[in-house]
Amino acid sequence: MTRYIAGRLGWAVLVVFAITIITFGVAFLSPVDPARLYAGLRATHAEYEIARRQLGLDHPIVVQYWLYLKRLLHGNLGTSYSTGEPVLRLVLSRLPATLELAAAGLLVEVVIGLPLGVLAALKWQGPADRIVLTGSLLGVVVPQFVLGFVLLYLFAYKIPLFPLGATDSLPALVLPALALGLPGAAWYARMVRSSVLNVLGEDFVRNSRAKGLSEWSVVTRHVMRNSVGPAVTMIGLDFGIFLGGVLVVEQVFGWPGIGQQAWNAITANDIPVVLGTVIVAATAVVIFNLVADIVNALLDPRIKYS
Amino acid sequence: MMASAVEAPENALEVRGLSTVYGTARGQIVAVRDVSFRIEPGEAVGIVGESGCGKTAIALALLGLLPRNGRIASGQILLRGTELVGATSKVLRDLRGRRIAMVFQDSMTSLDPVMPIGRQIAEGIITHLGVSKDDARRRAIELLEEVGVPDPVKRLASYPHQLSGGLRQRVAIAVALAADPDVLVADEPTTALDVTIQAQILDLLERERRRRGMALILITHDLGVVASVTDRVLVMYAGRVVELGTTAEIFADPRHPYTLGLLNSMPRVESVLDRELPTIPGSPPSGYDERQGCPFIPRCSFAIDTCRRVDPPLEPAAGGGEAHQAACLVDTRTRRSAR
């Protein structure tokens, strides 16, 4: 187990390393000249050169990357062009709101998607299965911003069950969480349905029926445990992705999270904030993917041996 | 003479006129056609035939575990007098494992890969005997010891993939024996194993049958497997029983051309090595085409004209033992029409 985790961890570090190369590359290729920005538009050529040296831009590219990496390792994600604040502090200030939304969205995905998937598989080709299949197809194809606006229109405007435009209460969390989680729930339902169907065809399921176990015991003790693997992986990935901010949903609901900040940074050409968000988001994905891998290894003893 | 002085022994299992059908995209397949047999307590019966002949369909029907697209079309299955055909799922659940249990072909796939084997054995015990977890655990240790798994206490926590094929099959047998069934159905229990291990597993099944006075149904494509273990043999072809008799009769005095073919295609120690092993030409019918007459005709070297019109019923073999029956119009001993 320890060796398995160490191996996965090694990969995770490599992936994050690769991400830093990409973000550095983007910053390097971007048309915005940091030295010009730093020195100010009316700076003299000499002042500009000093700024370049101070920012380390006179070094060869490899050295520049090394300096960039060193700064990252010290938690320095750069400084915002627009506000002059450290990017890390900006991102962290938005993290609680995003964390709240991400957790709620994930809850919607899991609580709605998993049971529906299991139900559809158990009632294979029955009415329940057809309803889940059709409904989930709808959930998969409707774009998130449309879903968000429809939810707002129906349940905040037409029938004012939930607050419109508020972001600071539990009821205010419901609609954004649904908009974020429902498409995922649809995916989960379809995925879980097919993995449960696969497992239901396995010999050991027939064998556990041959033991005289009730259908409930067969499903809860043998089928579920053997079919959650793909869902666990998805949950890990999704949580990572959500933590990196969900631009569309945060934008539709005016949710003050990382995604909204990233959107503002994109429109303002504030490249350090954009790239800082990318690094945080990507790292979150890598970390929770790693967590999912470990959970899967705990659930399935065969994994760590392969 | 008092006819009722000697009571007929109660059958452990009696199957009467069992037919099963499978619905498929290409239409309906009759997998088992009008099969009847009975097994006394403690008796071992072999069901032999090529793959697709309906052996496994019988086994699954006995446990009420036919797949979704399969069903019992007609017939009766009496387990110690209890009718299983049409029984509610609650009744069936109560009988499965406790009265009739099954060992499947591939222990790699028939054991849950993510549950320790101890729990897989204990499950059946707890379900049927209503004992505590600790008692079930103790019973699981005893069972593992009984089926020859070394170091059973340590093995309880093992997962199937950590065991060798032979050990896994022993565990699968322990799972089946957990609630002390009256009838054990073993479907190709040795097919996935090395030859040396095969003999050990057969010995184990034989030993457990004797020890427990349990009836054993051994399903196999390999006549050699039934030779050493079973009292009687059913030979199946295209969903029918084509020959039925004591194991000795089947080997010494086979009557159906298919049984003859099976015996001839068995390798023998004394056979000349450079001669090719005889095979039965052709392959069994697919189950879709309903042809008139005997289903074995295309592969039969004894066939006479009448065989094309009449599907021969199972009848006592001329000059054979009292329970020896074959479904063939030709007396294969003389190559003459039997009737």
**A204-259 pLDDT per residue, tens:** 999 999 999 999 999 999 999 999 999 999 999 999 889 887 889 999 999 999 99
The per-residue pLDDT for range A254-301, each reduced to its tens digit, is: 999 999 999 999 888 888 899 899 999 999 999 999 999 999 988 888
**H or E, element range at B246:** strand B240-246
Q: In B3-125, where do the E strands start and end?
A: 13-24, 27-39, 44-48, 70-79, 82-83, 100-103
| Separation CA A202–CA B313 (nearest Å) | 37
**B261-272 burial code (b ≥16 CB/10 A, e <16):** bbbeeeeeeeee
Which residue of A lies nearest to B100 if distances are taken between CA atoms? Answer: A210
Residue B270 lies in a domain: no
pLDDT band at B290 (very low <50, low <70, confident <90, very high): low
Chain B interface, Cβ < 8 Å to A: 63, 65, 68, 89, 93-98, 101-102, 104, 106, 109-115, 123-124, 127-128, 159, 161, 172, 175-176, 178-179
Residue B261 lies in a domain: no
Interchain CB distance below 8 Å, A210 and B101:
yes
Structural domain for B138, as ranges = 110-180
Residues 6+ apart with CB under 8 A from B73: B19, B20, B21, B30
Specify the range with the lowest mean pLDDT, choosing from A100-104, A169-173, B46-50, B58-62: A169-173
So what's the pLDDT on residue B317?
87
Residue B175 lies in a domain: yes
Interchain CB distance below 8 Å, A225 and B114:
yes
Give chain B's domain count. 1
Interchain CB distance below 8 Å, A210 and B94:
no
Residue B140 lies in a domain: yes
Would you say the pTM of this structure is higher than 0.90? no
The per-residue pLDDT for range A57-75, each reduced to its tens digit, is: 888 888 989 988 998 989 8
Q: Which residue has the tokens 């790693």?
A: A290
Interchain CB distance below 8 Å, A211 and B178:
yes
Report the DSSP beta bridge partners of residue B18. B35
So what's the pLDDT on residue B177?
95
Residue B170 lies in a domain: yes
Site from B110, B133, B184 to mutate, A interface, most A CB atoms within 10 angstroms: B110
Residue B189 lies in a domain: no
Which residue of B lies nearest to A306 if distances are taken between CA atoms? Answer: B161
| Separation CA B2–CA A201 (nearest Å) | 55
Structural tokens at position B316: 């006592």
Interchain CB distance below 8 Å, B65 and A213:
no
How many contacts, defined by CB atoms under 8 Å, are there between A and B? Answer: 83
The per-residue pLDDT for range B90-120, each reduced to its tens digit, is: 999 999 999 999 998 888 889 999 999 999 9
**Residue ranges of domains in chain A, CATH in brackets:** 2-73 (no CATH), 89-305 (1.10.3720.10)
How is residue B10 annotated by DSSP?
A: P
So what's the pLDDT on residue B2?
45
**Residue A305 in this model has a pLDDT that exceeds 60:** no
So what's the pLDDT on residue B143?
96
Cα angle A50, A56, A60 (rounded to 5 degrees) comes to: 120
- Are the C-beta atoms of B260 and B252 separated by less than 8 Å? no
Interchain CB distance below 8 Å, A203 and B109:
yes
**H or E, element range at A18:** helix A2-29
Residue B148 lies in a domain: yes
CA distance B62 to chain A (A): 10
The per-residue pLDDT for range B146-200, each reduced to its tens digit, is: 999 999 999 999 999 999 999 999 999 999 999 999 999 999 999 888 888 999 9
